[in-house]
Structures are given as C-alpha cells and as structure tokens.
Structure 1
Amino acid sequence: MLWGFQIVGVRAILQGAARISYLYVRRPKRSELKLRSGQILEFGFPSQLPRALLMFGDFVDPEFPFLRRIFRGDWIVADVGAAIGQFTLFAATLPVAFVHAFEPSAANVAVLSRNLQRNGVNERTKPHKVAFSNTESESHFETTASTWVSGLSETGTEVVSVRTLDAEFERLGLKHVSVLKINVAGFEPQVLEGAEAFLSKGGADILILLLGLASLPWYAKIATYGYRFFYFHPNENTLYELTSFDAKSVLDHRPWPARNIIAIHQSAIEASISTGIGIRKIESSFLAR
C-alpha cells in the first residue's frame, strides 16, 4: 500500500478502493475497466477481478513504461500466461507487429478473445489455448475461484494440452521473439526448463518474468546464455542490474516491490541504451524504496 501511495497517489488509491467496494456491493456477473493506456478490459466477477489494476492502475508495474520507451513496430511478442489479456492488449496497442497469447483456462481464453475483439487488435493477436511445462502431454487443469492462480492439477476437471515452449514455438515457426513474458502462477521454473533450448540461443531479446524464489536457479542459468537481469525505475529512467541471484540480492534490491524481473539479452542491450535509458549496477546499499 505504501508503494501504491508513492506511485499513484492517495486520490487514485481511494478511487480504486471505491471501485472494488462498489463491485462487491453490486456483484455483477461481468464488469469492465478502462485502462490508462486506453484499452477496455472486461472481466468476470469475482473470479477474474483484477484487484491490483483497479487499485493502482496499469502503469504501476515498471515493465510497462520500460517497454513503452523502447518498443518498435516490428516486434513479435509472446505472452505466456495471458489470463484475460492485460499484457497482450498493452503490447498490441503500443503497437507491435503481432502478439501470441498463451493461456490454458477456457474461462480466461473466452474473456481474452472478447477483449482482443473489443479493442480492435484481434488481427494482430492470436490466443492459443495451451499450457506450458517441461514435458509434453495432456493434463488436468484446475480453474480455481480466482482464475488468476489456476494451474495444472490432478484434481482439475478441464483437460488441456501441455507443451514445452521449445517445441510449441518450433511448431509456430517462432525462431525469435522480441519480448517473452512468463507469468504462470508459480509454475515458472517448469516453463523455463521447457524453454531452455530457445533461451540458450538468445531466442528472446527481452524476458519479463514473474518473480519467484523457486526460479532463482533459472535466473542464474539464463544469465549464462547472455541475459542480463534488471529492475527498471521509471522515475529515474534507469535499469538497475542484478549480478547475484540469491534471495536477498533479488528481493531486497527492488526500486519498489516490482512483481516481475526484466532480463535483456546482451545483443539487445544497445537498443535499450540508445533510447536514453541508463544502466547502473545494484549496490549492496541500494534497498527497496
């Protein structure tokens, strides 16, 4: 909350709290939110309620202003764990050339498709109903009361195709993407394991990865493939570089409580710097603020 007050201000926080309270009073089956970046995001209530978006707005996560500063119109973007489409919509309306959105939940895919159609970006986007892991199979998928944290489960009632990112991208002819975002509710290590061949070749210029302690060994491994890890500070227009991947180094040195970490392949660093973005090494004294 302190972070939110600092970034968006007291008035915006109170307005967001009022919006959430109003929804719980009315309890509609479906509602929508106009994002500050211009899109309309539909969601089912309460299972798809985007609390952080309603409370803080869509420019709080630092990867959004970072990508807005450096994007090019020829980018191909892959959104793994697309949910109802916030990141996909953002990328498609930057605008970039094309966005592939991967999401296993049927409920999420239905709303994702409506959001793409409603915002007029369906010709530059494609939803794929598929789950990613470190093996290929069919599996049960459990859609929980909050669809944001659904996942593969033996008790799930929905059967989904499970693919490795390596194999699925090869099927789609995706030899290279400009941005690969992965947010799969704690299953990131398995997805990264299934993407190792792609990443070892520098297949993505930029990675946006949901932070998780279980992913720390993968950050270290990915770094050996030419990726450098950062937090972006929008107010300072600066990338702060991480060089250690223990829990303290990763979690205690965020410019604010960022939910995602940014990795940029060495071959794409120069393009980011050319836009006027600075790079600084994180020092031990640089604590979350």
Structure 2
Amino acid sequence: MDNRIARADIMARRLAWGARQVGIARTLTGLARLAALRLRHPAQGRIRTCVGGLDIFFNYPSQLMPMLVVFQDLLEPELAMVADCLGPGRVAIDVGASIGTWTLCAARTGALVHACEPDPENFASLGQNLARNGLESGVRLYRQALGSGEGWGVNAPEDRLYLNQVRLADASAAGGTGTRVQTLEGFVRDLGLDSVDLLKVNTAGCEREVLAGGMALFRQRRIGLAMFLDGLAVRPWLDELRAFAYTLGVHDGRRFIPVASSHDLDRVRPGPMSRYVVVQRDAAQAAR
C-alpha cells in the first residue's frame, strides 16, 4: 500500500510539473490519450514526440511510459546536455537503454552511441525504434548488462520492463546461460576507446554496481560527463568521484547546478522530472 501511495504521489507531482511546461490543454489531451490506450489495450503503442519528431513504439503494457504518452515528449531536463556535449566525432555509452528514448536523442546529434540493454524484449524494441527513425547506423547495440564484475547475471523481472534488474551471479552456477555481465572498464577496453564523452546509466537501482565496475575510468579522468539515475545506494560512490576532479550536480534544462556533496542534491533539484545526478569532469582541476 505504501509503495502505491508513493508512486501515485510521484505521478501527481510529475503531472503538475509537466502541465506547467506544456500547458493544461495539451496535458488534458494527453491524459485522454493515456485513458484511450488503457481502454483499447493494444499490443503496441506509438508516440511521435512534439520536439524532434521522434517515432517511439512500445509494447503495451510492459513498456508503457505514462508520462511520455501524456506529454508526447520526454521532458527530461538532462537531455539538454546531450545536444550540448555530443555531435559528430563524439562517443556516448548508454547503460540500460530500454526501448531507446535516450539513445535516439544521443544518436540524433551525429555521435556514435554504444547502447547496452539486457532484456530481450526491450532490446528488440530498441533496434526497431532506431530503424524507424533512421538512426541505426550511428548506434552499436549490445544485449548485455554492465555491473561490478565479469560473468553472468540473473534477471529480476518486473511487470514494467524498464524496472528490470540484472544482478551478477556465481559464474560457475550460471554456466554461461544467463545474461552476460561486464564491467564498464572492460566494456570500454574492448571497444578500444581512450575516453567517453558522455555516459548515461539507468539500470533500475543497479547504478552503484555499474559505477563500481568503472571507477578506474573516473580515476583516470577518461569520462567527460556522466549522468546516473539518482538513488540513495549510488550517492556515496558518486561523492568519491570528487577526489578525481569531478563535480556533482543536476541540470535544469538550461545550466549545470553544482553541489558540494550528494546531500545537497534534493535541495537544488529543479523538479520531479529531473531524475539524474550529473557528474562533470573539472577541466581546471584535472589539468593540475
């Protein structure tokens, strides 16, 4: 019961915030669209975003993103960073790509995107969405997870596939039949990359494990900018990155707002659709 109340509260706050961004009329139209979708219960839904005109197809109900359906846009303030720091010749890694909303935005800049998604249904939709938008040539797809070690993982399935988690299991027990898990450091090494311009990590609560497997890259300052889905488990690890000349903060859609520590994130967060902690390499400190 408490979880349902918490989810309803989050939904209400996101609706109110989104309505202020796009207007009451568009929000009401979107709510009617969501209600019609739930009444018809089709096998697949489609949203064409108002900004950028991206065609996003999803299986219903397992891949339903209610706010995307209502607002016909992602409305994630952090997406402004994608256009600012990516472009032709740049490299991005999307860990937990799901059906491809972030990957589509990154690929549209002309950057090369390496997208990891372990769930087979999400992975199939990811590839289809890239093809439907003519962006598949700029994206490399990997049906695997990234975590704290190398081996095989077990999937903890959820009704909504974007909530699925992959946890590293005993490699000998898995016997190579589960989901492949690799560290971020090993993944970057195998790609032959010297550096990564933008890293995005949204793994439904396993962000700490991904960061643990990539700490060496931050220590060597090989990640330019990163965005991690916020969560109490990952915050102490993010604080450690300050020792490697990185600054934590949030992005409000216009600018980066730095904080002294992760304890200050909630105080400066611009709204309920701002879900990521931004980790930015400090060029001045790194040069010392």
TM-score (norm 1): 0.85
Which of 46, 50, 62 is matched with 1:47 structurally? 62
Structure 1 runs of 4+ with >4 Å offset: none
Aligned to 1:284: none
Which of 64, 67, 73 is matched with 1:58 structurally? 73
Does residue 235 of structure 2 align to residue 212 of structure 1? no
Closer, same or farther in 2 for the Cα pair 1:71/1:137, shift >3 Å? closer
Give the C-alpha shift of residue 93 in structure 1: 0.9
1:266-281 mapped onto 2 (5 Å cutoff): 266-267=282-283
Contact kept, 8 Å, 1:34 with 1:40, in 2: the verdict is: yes
Which of 83, 88, 91 is matched with 2:106 structurally? 91
Give the 3-state SS of the residue equivalent to 1:13 in structure 2. helix
Aligned to 1:114: 128
Aligned to 2:16: 2
Which of 235, 241, 244 is matched with 1:225 structurally? 244
Which has the larger displacement, 250-259 or 74-83? 250-259
Aligned to 2:281: 265
2:267 partner letter: D
Aligned to 2:5: none
Aligned to 1:31: 45
Q: % of aligned pairs identical?
A: 29
1:48 partner letter: Q
1:259 partner letter: R
Aligned mates of 1:68, 1:103 — CA distance in 2 = 22
2:277 partner letter: I
Which of 121, 127, 145 is matched with 1:131 structurally? 145
The C-alpha deviation readout for 1:101-148, integer Å capped at 9, x for no partner, is 001000100010111111111111011011111111112213321101
Aligned mates of 1:177, 1:119 — CA distance in 2 = 24
Give the C-alpha shift of residue 72 in structure 1: 3.0
Does residue 194 of structure 2 align to residue 175 of structure 1? yes
Give the C-alpha shift of residue 70 in structure 1: 4.3
Aligned to 1:166: 185
TM-score (norm 2): 0.85
Which of 255, 273, 286 is matched with 1:238 structurally? 255
Give the C-alpha shift of residue 160 in structure 1: 0.4
Aligned mates of 2:276, 2:71 — CA distance in 1 = 16
Aligned mates of 2:101, 2:56 — CA distance in 1 = 7
1:26 partner letter: R
Aligned to 1:278: none
Instruction: Compare the two structures and name the one with the higher helix fraction.
Output: 2
The C-alpha deviation readout for 1:145-179, integer Å capped at 9, x for no partner, is 1101011268x9x8200111111211111221110
Closer, same or farther in 2 for the Cα pair 1:84/1:59, shift >3 Å? closer
Equivalenced residue count is: 262
Give the C-alpha shift of residue 221 in structure 1: 0.7
Aligned mates of 1:238, 1:126 — CA distance in 2 = 29
- Which structure 2 segments of 5+ residues have no match? 1-14
Give the 3-state SS of the residue equivalent to 1:224 in structure 2. helix
2:178 partner letter: V
Contact kept, 8 Å, 1:205 with 1:267, in 2: the verdict is: no
Aligned to 2:11: none
Give the C-alpha shift of residue 65 in structure 1: 2.0
